[in-house]
Chain A
Amino acid sequence: MKARAWHKIWNIKTVNNLVRATSEGLYCEPGNFFIDPWKPVQTALITHAHSDHAHAGSAQYFCAEKCLPLLKHRIGHENKYHALKYGEKFKIGDTVISFHPAGHILGSSQVRIEYKGKVWVVSGDFKRGEDPSCDEFEVVHCDVFISEATFALPIYRWESGEVTAKKIFDWWQSDLERPSLLFCYALGKSQRVLAELKKFTDKKVYLHGAVENLTEIYRKNGIDLIDTAPVASMEKGYSFKGDLIIAPPSAHRSTWMKRFKDPQTAFASGWMQVRGVRRRKGYEKGFVLSDHADWIELNRTIEQTGAKTVYLTHGKTDVLERYLTEKGYEVRLFKTEYEDQEEASS
């Protein structure tokens, strides 16, 4: 979804622009810091540990306390980190910044920036639906809201994670003669599923190596998850018949899958809302489960922040731009290098 031909790119240096897009990332001049920069900089504020938002190489990092263990896992323990509690105010340059829960994954944050009585909020990635594996999104009042737009089309509308987890559980139980392979993003989505499944069963779930380490970090940070074991820990002849196995999408159709005889396969992602996408990706079953806001959540959130000016960073920005403009908002686009972490649909 990145690098589309933008019709409008605002990249102008004006005093009014507290945050602007540069070739390194979103930049705040009065604070002389970047938010989720994709190139090494002096000071980086990180919204969350997904790889398109958290890049290594900067001199110092600011993040929410709950984000820190995941961030260290992703970009290394040796960096210089400043971890803040949610809501804790901190002065950087002429600005005051604070992190507020974004409801996306564990430790995910919106960044609030205050300067000369004006408040800007950078959403990072966010969702509004309930999620037992992370803090709930907090509405932060602001003048300018910088939002993601991954699923900014009215066809995207999510059911609660609990309802979807029940469907996953039923699918798993519907065929105990075969292994059930559920593919979903390794950081965030997997742990959300593991937390939700706990409501329906105490059976053990098996994990692909890429999911295992991240899951341990969640557990160490007090998130209650269903029992798990690494696939690799099972002896060679073990058949996984009737077991649920969670793996990242990159493992789909890889040699890793040879380990399982005649598995049923499913993919959990917001993209699964559209039947054609599921078929094209070659999964048998699709579960609609996203850690991004759906259309209604995006619009409701923008309304609740009270912002009159909205910047859009990534996703279906052109649709949301037109829709908000028609509603009377001042809308602008930031060209960023953020990608959708649920596997883009095209």
Chain B
Amino acid sequence: MKAFTKLYDELDSTTSTNEKITALKKYFTNAPADDAMWAVLILTSRISKRVLTSRSLRESFLRITKYSNWLYEESYSQVGDTAETLSLLLQSLDLARHESIAPGETSDKSLSNWLEVDIPELAKIKDEDQRAEKLLSFWKELTPLEIFILNKLMTGGFRVGVSEKSVVRALSEVFNLETDQVSHRLTGATDPGAENFKRLISKEKLESLPSQPYPFCLAYAWSERTEKDWDSQRWCIEWKYDGIRSQIIRRAGAIWIWSRGEDDISVSFPDIAELFAALPDGTVLDGEIVIIKDDQIQSFQELQKRLGRKKVSALTLKNTPAAFIAYDCLETGHEDIRQISLRERKQILEKLMTPLLSKKIRLSPTLNAENPEQVEDLRALSREKQAEGVMIKDWSSSYPVGRKTGYWWKNKVDPLTLDAVLLYAQAGTGRRANLYTDYTFALWSENKELIPFAKAYSGLDQDEINQLDYWIRRHTKEKFGPVRSLEPFHVFEIGFEGIAASNRHKSGIAVRFPRILRWRKDKKFDEADHLTTAFKLLDGTP
């Protein structure tokens, strides 16, 4: 764990990409293969499994140390992160190892050992006292920074300040490989183990695993500048659907479905997988999974009902009929065809798909635009077409790795917006600890009550954040732990990508990707929008 902690510390204490790569190279040169593979998975956010919730981590701590609850809460509200708060309180209680005492002398457990033995064993303990005991025994052998890292590994969602690009570059420089090769091998890699690391850095041209997807090509946001020389012959325009971007892999007699987040989501869509059994072996398709009911593409919320379960029930399958809309073909006859042009790939795709086409398997239609104005017209039409915008792709382009400028663009519709009242605030985490930056916004109900409808974290600049933080501290009505309820006063314009009815929320609606567009200092709080306005948005175009 020491070597990984050192790496984390080095990555965390510089903003220079070169220094980050130097630190990574140093680590990968010396780390044993099994530790190195874990490190790759952690640094590229491929492991986010949660063994314990932050809450149960905190409960265990309070149980074993009999720590005062309010003092914990005060500390937490200053730090804004459970893993970090605990590491600092353990240090304060002398329950962490002191860094300066005999460095390197105590036995240092490897990263793999922690992740493969200790943490899984802890996860098995059901008795809360025993679990707390076990946690304490872990913490006692670690320094505060190591405790922070261990806590993060247990609670999932550990983010390290380094890009996947840097990790790939470091690996390719240490092991003398092409970056595209490392990048490809890394795609779909989710399993630890020394063998997997050796595959990742092997000099030989390896048969890829049958399940392995290609790196997804990502689009850049369309900008004014790119529209200057419009050539209608050059651009392929398609709807951009609000679903799960996926690759269908038909190889070795089996089917895999990978999401863009590089999760194997085959189990979530057995109905789709089944239909692609008719696809010839050695085929990979790129497309979008959506839920289609009565020929209407459903909201993203419907799609989410399919995710995160070991098995999808027959009822869910029936209630959320999935469909695949194909954009592209990346492999045919066991051959990687990413280098040929989009035009040729589309032709191959059409040929492959024709015998399969149905309500549940569709080809993404190609649209036409003679000039940029027509692109805008299409974009404006997209919500009606149940899309969230248009994709603009260069007909002559190959299928590039990752986000490469010039070939793929996305042009999304303007977000839906509502003016809402700031009602609650909570201190942020990480960079925003100590500042009230997590906001809850509310709309007026018919009987003149403010009902929370969205949380948003971003959209203000630093000055506005500071200004608002100052105001929040002086206009708090009540404190509940880290949350403050506020006097209704400030109005913000909240933008979001989608809206759906929801009986889980008091407001009766759920919005997707809410964010602050503007601080409406010109509006009084009683001028904010009503819930009825939000309900009108449910029916389509505002």
A residues contacting B by CB (< 8 A) are: 4-5, 153-157, 159-160, 163, 175, 262, 264, 273-277, 279-280, 284-286, 295-296, 316, 319, 322-323, 326, 345-346
Contact = CB atoms under 8 A, between A and B. Distances in A.
B284 interface: no
A284 B13 contact: yes
Contacts of B91: 157
30 contacts: A4-B473, A154-B88, A154-B89, A154-B92, A155-B85, A163-B100, A175-B19, A262-B16, A273-B88, A274-B78, A274-B79, A274-B433, A275-B12, A275-B81, A275-B84, A275-B430, A275-B433, A276-B81, A276-B429, A276-B433, A279-B431, A284-B13, A285-B13, A286-B13, A296-B92, A316-B74, A319-B74, A323-B71, A345-B434, A346-B434
Contacts of B19: 175
Contacts of A154: 71, 75, 88-89, 92-93
A335 to B, nearest CB: 15
Given A274-B84, A274-B434, A155 B429 contact: no
A155 B92 contact: yes
A284 B15 CA distance: 6
Contacts of B80: 274, 276
Contacts of A295: 92
Closest 8 CB pairs of A and B: A276-B433, A155-B88, A285-B13, A279-B431, A157-B92, A154-B92, A155-B75, A163-B100
B403 interface: no
A284 B9 CA distance: 11
Contacts of A345: 434
A325 to B, nearest CB: 12
Contacts of A156: 88, 92
Contact of B434 (A163, A264, A280, A323): A280
Contacts of A153: 74-75, 78
A346 B430 contact: no
Contact of A264 (B14, B435, B469, B474): B14
Given A4-B473, A319-B71, 11 more contacts: A153-B74, A154-B92, A262-B16, A274-B78, A274-B79, A275-B81, A275-B84, A275-B433, A276-B80, A276-B433, A284-B14
A31 B78 CA distance: 40
B204 to A, nearest CB: 37
Interface string B54-94: 00000000000000101100110011110011001101110
B15 A157 contact: no
A275 B100 CA distance: 20
A264 B92 CA distance: 30
Contact of A280 (B12, B85, B93, B431): B431
A326 to B, nearest CB: 8
Nearest to A319: B74
Nearest to A326: B68
Given A154-B75, A155-B79, A323-B71, A276 B13 contact: no
A309 to B, nearest CB: 22
B428 interface: yes
Nearest to A279: B431
Contacts of B478: none
B99 interface: yes
A284 B11 CA distance: 10
A188 B376 CA distance: 62
Instruction: Pick the most buried of A274, A295, A316: most chain B CB atoms within 10 A of its CB.
Output: A274
B89 A280 contact: no
A102 B100 CA distance: 26
A262 B473 CA distance: 38
Nearest to B431: A279
Nearest to B466: A346
Interface in B1-46: 12-16, 19
Contact of A276 (B16, B74, B100, B434): B434
B170 to A, nearest CB: 18
B263 to A, nearest CB: 29
Interface in B424-438: 428-435
Contacts of B473: 4
A295 B434 CA distance: 18
Contact of B431 (A264, A276, A286, A316): A276
A157 B88 contact: yes
Contacts of B84: 274-275
Contacts of B71: 154, 319, 323
Contacts of A163: 99-100
A5 B431 contact: no
Contacts of B13: 284-286
A277 B433 contact: yes
B66 to A, nearest CB: 14
A319 B68 CA distance: 12
B430 A279 contact: yes
B160 to A, nearest CB: 12
Contacts of B93: 154
A274 B80 CA distance: 9
Contacts of A346: 434-435, 469
Interface in B388-439: 428-435
Instruction: Pick the most buried of A175, A264, A277, A345: most chain B CB atoms within 10 A of its CB.
Output: A277
A276 B469 contact: no
Contacts of B14: 264, 284-285
B229 to A, nearest CB: 38
Contacts of A326: 68
Contacts of B74: 153, 316, 319
A197 to B, nearest CB: 17
Given A279-B430, A279-B431, A5 B78 contact: no
B78 to A, nearest CB: 6
A279 to B, nearest CB: 4
A277 B434 contact: yes
Contacts of B432: 276, 280
A264 B70 CA distance: 39
A295 B93 CA distance: 11
Contacts of A175: 19
Nearest to B427: A276
A153 B70 CA distance: 11
A160 B89 CA distance: 18
A276 B89 contact: no
A319 B70 CA distance: 9
A322 B70 contact: yes
A190 to B, nearest CB: 21
A215 B83 CA distance: 40
Contacts of A157: 88, 91-92
Contact of B435 (A5, A155, A280): A280
B157 to A, nearest CB: 15
A87 to B, nearest CB: 33
Nearest to A5: B474
Interface string B220-231: 000000000000
Contacts of B99: 159, 163
B324 to A, nearest CB: 42
